[in-house]
Amino acid sequence: MLEVRNIAFSYRTKEVLKDVSFVVSPGETVCIVGDNGVGKSTLMRVLATVLMPDGGSIRIDGKDALRNPVRYRREIGFLQEDPALYDDMTVKDYLTYRARLKGEPDKRIRRRIGEASEVCRLRALMARQIRNLSFGDKKRVALADAMLLRPRVVLLDDVLAGLDCSMREAAGEIISSVAAFSNVIVTGHEIADLAKWTTRFIVLGSGRITASISTAGMECSSVVSRVEAALKGGEA
Amino acid sequence: MSPVGVTFRRTFGMISGLYVTALSVAGFLAASAALFAFNLDMGEGGLSSLASLWALSVAPVLPVLAALAGMEVWSDELKTGRIDILLSSPVSEKDLVKGKFWGVWALTMVALSISLVSAFVFLDFYAPSFFEVSSLWGFIPAFTLLAFQSALWSAVAVAASAVFRNAAGAAATTIFILVAFPRVIWLALSHWTRGGRIVLGDFPLDAHAFDFASGLLGVGTLFSYAILTFFALFAAERVVAFRRFRGRRQRLQRFSMGLSIVLGFVLSFLAISLASRMDLSLDMSVAGSGETRFSPGTREILSRAHGSISITVFLERSDPQFRHVGHFLRSLKREADSTGGVVLEIKYVDPILDTGEALRLVRAGVEKASLVFERGERIAHVLRIADGYGERECVALIERMASPLIRSSVYWTVGHGEASFGNYAFDGLSDIARNLALDGYEHKTVNLADSASQIGSDCALLIVAGARTDFSAREIERLGAYLEGQGDSNGGGRLLVLADRALTRGMENLLSRWGILSEKIHASQFPTVSGTDVVASQFSESHPVSRPFQGYQVVLETPVAFKPSAMATEGSTGADRKKYSDILSAGKTCFAAAVERGGNGKDLAIRPTRIVAIGDVGFVLNGKLRSSANANRDFFLNAVKYLSGRDSLPASGSEASRLVTGMTRSDRASFAMASALWLPIGLFALQALLIARRRRGK
């Protein structure tokens, strides 16, 4: 279970996150939405401990991100908006390197990479050099990296950005598969696509959580309309 | 595999797969090999060891290689945004920095090893007679130092790379920090501050390379490099961690991180100060660098001597000898420090830049290119560097300065055409007389023909310095009485006879009675310098006069030879026993002999009679001492010491070996071309091919 309590963060001239608190229970796939610049990516980077918050706490099953960051990071996988990979490596080499860096024993790495490549549909690409992949393929590789060791929480920042329709479909299926063993937190603007496999929307406005909309038992279209209403500042 | 190992493998693989790295390594090999070939050419016939020439060729280029190899390790992560992926991985910043550091260091070590191996291979090929496999061991200390240096350079490159998104900026900063900044500080200290210039000698980084290559291993130096490496890695880790704290309200964290870097620097500085203060130096026996090996005699003298002695190097820094002199004196100082005896202070005075100090020395009569030995404010001795500044010379001076001054008199016979101690011309003995005066001997004359002229009871020894006219029977009788100790209750007399082409008949008879027989020889039968000189290099190991001079040469001019007479065996026991010794020979011919009577007597309180006969007076004339560097002066002084009862011996330094490669001009050109051009080009082409294949292949 991920617990986020009173997170605040401000850049030099702008207060980005103010008192952000939420809990992600096991099995949940949470989507954080909001207008551009409201702090979605900053929140994801704070959750990934790339940025330290000004205040508040983050815990995964009691493991504190600020007090014991290395143990906390073992429980997360992070995909950033623009997948930055090592172009000179093959997909297999890259995933092997990442698995090793995350501390996975050598004897289990092959199995882990097999699973991740299966879920992310990378089997055909394993021997290819990353510099030769398309943007969508690179995103799938980055996604495979994020879910490689089956972390408790997978953080996917703007995961659907830059993908065409079919690729968004495919990404949705992959994320659904990932959600089977991890909590997934995604950000994005593609509400209609996200609504298909998200269990809850968290709406961020002016650095605060303005709405939390559960999708349980709701039609996709009504979820979209409620989220869009919340984004416009209406009643959620 | 640990995160450090994983990061190391990735970093090494990444940087070795870059064209810029291939070019950097090739450039490093070319530059260091070109410098090595140049230094080898310049150092031909000099005192530098092969290892020191190699180390001094590689050391200046190594920081540039480290800067270029390490410039991308973090800046590329920053530029592409991969830093976020790394920071969200379950790895500490420390492990990431360590892994990247190992990667850069490993690459510089590979380049360093190639440079060393290529030097061996090409030398073995072009100068096979000069190069021996056994001399490889001599490179270990230099290689060790360069490994420590490259660790520091790599750590700084990694730290600079963590600051800059632009790799070129990181490389430029690293080169500035490692090459320009220390040199600017050193130049500023040594040119703008008088005190700094006088205390500082050679540029410290070059001096370290030279010292290690010559076998003088400073543990403090290695410790300092290690401390600075840890500091640079700590700073790099803080800089990487700093990226997590970009929030407005995290000024305190950012401030504390900055403060930790400053404190880390201060602590490193203190640790280095402590290390240099408690420096433990090891003196390894390195082939081809006899300069830093000191004899047990030297250690004994240095430990026995007390107080503080200042040695000023009065020499321009641009002088080719400057580095050697500085290195030698540093070695001597370390040796003195380790014995706990005399405290040596080394100063450097540039005749041009340090006008105040230089003027003081010039007014005191010191010539340029000299070593000035001072005690308190008093200049005690001046050693001209051109005359030799080795272990023997310096330690003998230190001993003289540190020993209590014993006043005694040396009597010189006059009236038979002897060379005069008051004569300052080339055929005089003023130089050697000045040495004796500094040792506390007072010069007096005695005319044996004049009964009013007496050999006083203060006579430590009597010198007959090249008598040309014969001594009368009366004079010989007086000499005999002096040697027998008549009129002197303390025992026998002491006589030093220097022949001038031949001994006079009376003197010949006297010496014969005491066991020394003289004979004329032809100089051409012996190793000769000018045709009339005889180079004698066989010193008796059992006699105190000659024992310290193994490996040295005494050059005599048309000398007289000696052999034991029948009287040498007279008196088999007790005080009457005469003991004859050949002390200096060339081949089977003896040119200096000594006789002692009563030395093994029952009554040790009786002063034994001692005679030393040396076949040539010319070997200590002013002209001879000024024109050539040999052991003439010390051999004479040691004979005087022996005769006057000051039996402490000067240090015996080993002869410094000279570098002679035996390469012809075309060999040198081929060596330079092969090591500085073809090898780097070949390696670059090979590496570029591998990189291209790797990129194209997948």
Of the pLDDT bands very low, low, confident and very high (cuts 50, 70, 90), residue A236 is: very low
B369-383 mean pLDDT: 80
Of all residues in chain A, the one with the smallest CA distance to B96 is A101
Q: How far apart are CA B578 and CA B515, in angstroms?
A: 8
Whether residue B287 is predicted with pLDDT greater than 60 in this model: the reply is no
Q: What pLDDT was estimated at residue B652? A: 46
Whether residue A99 is predicted with pLDDT greater than 90 in this model: the reply is yes
Q: How far apart are CA A95 and CA B318, in angstroms?
A: 58
Most confident of A76-90, B368-382, B559-573, B597-611: A76-90
Mutate to test the interface with A, among B246, B690, B693, B696 (most CBs of A within 10 A): B246
Q: Which residue numbers of B have CB closer than 8 Å to A's CBs?
A: 1, 3, 6-7, 10, 14, 17, 80-82, 84-85, 87-92, 244-250, 253, 694-695, 698
Q: Which residues of B touch A42 (CB under 8 A)?
A: none
- % pLDDT > 90, chain B: 27
Strand order in A15-24's β-sheet? Answer: A15-24, A2-10, A55-60, A63-64
Given CATH 3.40.50.720, say whether it is the number of domain A2-24+39-213. Answer: no
Distance from CA of B100 to the nearest CA of A (A): 13
Contact A52 B245 (CB under 8 A): yes
Q: How many residues does chain A have?
A: 236
| DSSP code per residue over B123-190 | HHHH-TTT--GGGGGGGHHHHHHHHHHHHHHHHHHHHHHHH-SSHHHHHHHHHIIIIIHHHHHHHHHH
| DSSP code per residue over B47-103 | S--HHHHHHHHHTTTHHHHHHHHHTHHHHHHHHHTHHHHHHTSSS-HHHHHHHHHHH
How far out from the chain centre does Cα B421 lie?
Answer: 33
Q: How far apart are CA A141 and CA A132, in angstroms?
A: 12
Q: What pLDDT was estimated at residue B226? A: 93
Q: Residue B173 corresponds to which tokens in the numbers above?
A: 């900063």
Q: How far apart are CA A95 and CA A149, in angstroms?
A: 10
B110-139 mean pLDDT: 81
Q: What pLDDT was estimated at residue B515? A: 87
Contact B85 A86 (CB under 8 A): no
Q: How far apart are CA B550 and CA A92, in angstroms?
A: 70
Q: Residue A169 corresponds to which tokens in the numbers above?
A: 């479909």
Contact A10 B249 (CB under 8 A): yes
Asked if residue A92 lies in contact with residue A127, where contact means CB atoms within 8 angstroms, the answer is yes
Asked if residue A91 lies in contact with residue A114, where contact means CB atoms within 8 angstroms, the answer is no
Whether residue B573 is predicted with pLDDT greater than 60 in this model: the reply is no
Q: What pLDDT was estimated at residue A179? A: 84
Determine the 3-state secondary structure of A150 from DSSP.
Answer: coil
Asked if residue B43 lies in contact with residue B659, where contact means CB atoms within 8 angstroms, the answer is yes
Helix axis angle, A135-146 to A106-119, nearest 10°: 130
B44-64 mean pLDDT: 84
Mutate to test the interface with B, among A41, A50, A58 (most CBs of B within 10 A): A50
Residue from the list A53, A102, A129 with its beta carbon closest to the beta carbon of B247 = A53
Asked if residue B267 lies in contact with residue B626, where contact means CB atoms within 8 angstroms, the answer is no
Of the pLDDT bands very low, low, confident and very high (cuts 50, 70, 90), residue B568 is: low
By C-alpha distance, which of B612, B504, B625 is closest to B554? B625
Q: How far apart are CA B587 and CA B608, in angstroms?
A: 30
Mutate to test the interface with A, among B4, B21, B78, B85 (most CBs of A within 10 A): B85
Whether residue B97 is predicted with pLDDT greater than 90 in this model: the reply is yes
Sequence-separated (6 or more) residues with CB below 8 Å from residue B691:
B17, B18, B19, B22
Q: What pLDDT was estimated at residue B307? A: 81
Of the pLDDT bands very low, low, confident and very high (cuts 50, 70, 90), residue B329 is: confident
Q: Which residues of A touch B82 (CB under 8 A)?
A: 84-86
Mutate to test the interface with A, among B2, B73, B83, B698 (most CBs of A within 10 A): B698
Whether residue B81 is predicted with pLDDT greater than 90 in this model: the reply is no
Q: Which residues of A touch B80 (CB under 8 A)?
A: 84
What count of other Cβ atoms lies within 10 Å of the Cβ of residue B432? 23
Whether residue B489 is predicted with pLDDT greater than 60 in this model: the reply is no
Q: Between residues B679 and B487, which one has the greater pLDDT?
A: B679
Mean pLDDT of chain B: 83
Tens of pLDDT, residues A155-208: 999 888 877 888 888 888 888 888 888 889 999 888 888 888 888 999 988 888
Of all residues in chain A, the one with the smallest CA distance to B17 is A88
Contact B250 A80 (CB under 8 A): no
Contact A54 B87 (CB under 8 A): no
Contact A51 B695 (CB under 8 A): no
Of the pLDDT bands very low, low, confident and very high (cuts 50, 70, 90), residue B95 is: very high
Sequence-separated (6 or more) residues with CB below 8 Å from residue B88:
A48, A49, A50, A73, A76, A78
Contact A82 B81 (CB under 8 A): yes
Of the pLDDT bands very low, low, confident and very high (cuts 50, 70, 90), residue B161 is: very high
Contact A52 B7 (CB under 8 A): no
Q: Which helix (H) or strand (E) covers residue B462, if one does?
A: strand B459-465
Asked if residue B65 lies in contact with residue B110, where contact means CB atoms within 8 angstroms, the answer is no
Please provide residue B526's backbone torsions phi and psi, each rounded to the nearest 5 degrees.
Answer: -120, 165
Contact B88 A48 (CB under 8 A): yes
Strand partners, A9: A17
Whether residue B604 is predicted with pLDDT greater than 50 in this model: the reply is no
Strand partners, A3: A23, A59
Tens of pLDDT, residues B210-231: 878 877 777 888 889 999 999 9
A139-166 mean pLDDT: 87
Tens of pLDDT, residues A45-96: 999 999 988 888 999 988 898 888 889 999 999 998 888 898 888 999 999 9
Lowest pLDDT segment from A36-40, B272-276, B511-515: B272-276
Tens of pLDDT, residues B168-208: 999 999 999 988 888 888 888 877 776 676 777 777 788 88
Whether residue B603 is predicted with pLDDT greater than 80 in this model: the reply is no
Contact A88 B14 (CB under 8 A): yes
Q: How far is CA B568 from CA B356, B576, B580, B595, B596, in A?
A: 60, 11, 6, 8, 10
Q: What pLDDT was estimated at residue B654? A: 46
Mutate to test the interface with B, among A42, A101, A104 (most CBs of B within 10 A): A101
Contact A101 B7 (CB under 8 A): yes
Distance from CA of A70 to the nearest CA of B (A): 5
Lowest pLDDT segment from A46-50, B112-116, B389-393, B486-490: B486-490
Contact A70 B92 (CB under 8 A): yes
Q: What pLDDT was estimated at residue B465? A: 92
Of all residues in chain A, the one with the smallest CA distance to B243 is A51
Distance from CA of B237 to the nearest CA of A (A): 15
Q: What pLDDT was estimated at residue B650? A: 47
Q: What pLDDT was estimated at residue B186? A: 83
Contact B88 A11 (CB under 8 A): no
Distance from CA of A98 to the nearest CA of B (A): 9
Q: Between residues B391 and A113, which one has the greater pLDDT?
A: A113
Q: Which residues of B touch A8 (CB under 8 A)?
A: 249
Q: Which residue numbers of A have CB closer than 8 Å to B's CBs?
A: 8-12, 15, 45, 48-55, 70-71, 73-74, 76, 78, 80, 82, 84-86, 88, 90, 97-98, 100-103, 106, 127-129, 132, 145
Residue from the list A9, A54, A103 with its beta carbon closest to the beta carbon of B90 = A103
- % pLDDT > 70, chain B: 86
Contact A129 B698 (CB under 8 A): yes
Of the pLDDT bands very low, low, confident and very high (cuts 50, 70, 90), residue B279 is: low
Of the pLDDT bands very low, low, confident and very high (cuts 50, 70, 90), residue B658 is: low
Contact A80 B85 (CB under 8 A): yes
Q: What pLDDT was estimated at residue B528? A: 60
Domains and CATH numbers, chain B: 3-286+665-697 (no CATH), 294-387 (3.40.30.10), 406-644 (3.40.50.880)
Contact A86 B246 (CB under 8 A): no
Q: What pLDDT was estimated at residue B644? A: 84
Of the pLDDT bands very low, low, confident and very high (cuts 50, 70, 90), residue B647 is: low
- % pLDDT > 90, chain A: 20
Q: What pLDDT was estimated at residue B651? A: 44
Q: Which residues of B touch A56 (CB under 8 A)?
A: none
Tens of pLDDT, residues B613-646: 999 988 888 887 766 556 788 889 888 888 887 6
| DSSP code per residue over B477-537 | HHHHHHHHTTT-TTB--EEEEE-BSB--HHHHHHHHHTTEEEEE--GGGS--SSSSEEEE-
Asked if residue B392 lies in contact with residue B328, where contact means CB atoms within 8 angstroms, the answer is no
Query: Any idea where the domains of chain A sit in the sequence?
Result: 2-24+39-213
B668-673 mean pLDDT: 88
Q: What pLDDT was estimated at residue B90? A: 92
Contact B90 A129 (CB under 8 A): no
Contact B244 A50 (CB under 8 A): yes
Contact B3 A103 (CB under 8 A): yes
Asked if residue A141 lies in contact with residue A116, where contact means CB atoms within 8 angstroms, the answer is no
Q: Which residues of B touch A43 (CB under 8 A)?
A: none
Q: Which residues of A touch B84 (CB under 8 A)?
A: 45, 48, 50, 78, 80, 84
Contact B89 A84 (CB under 8 A): no
Kindly tell me the burial class for residue B251, based on how many C-beta atoms sit within 10 Å of its own C-beta (0-12, 13-18, 19 or more). Answer: exposed
Q: Which residues of A touch B91 (CB under 8 A)?
A: 70, 73, 101-103
A–B interface: beta-carbon pairs under 8 A: 90
Of the pLDDT bands very low, low, confident and very high (cuts 50, 70, 90), residue B281 is: low
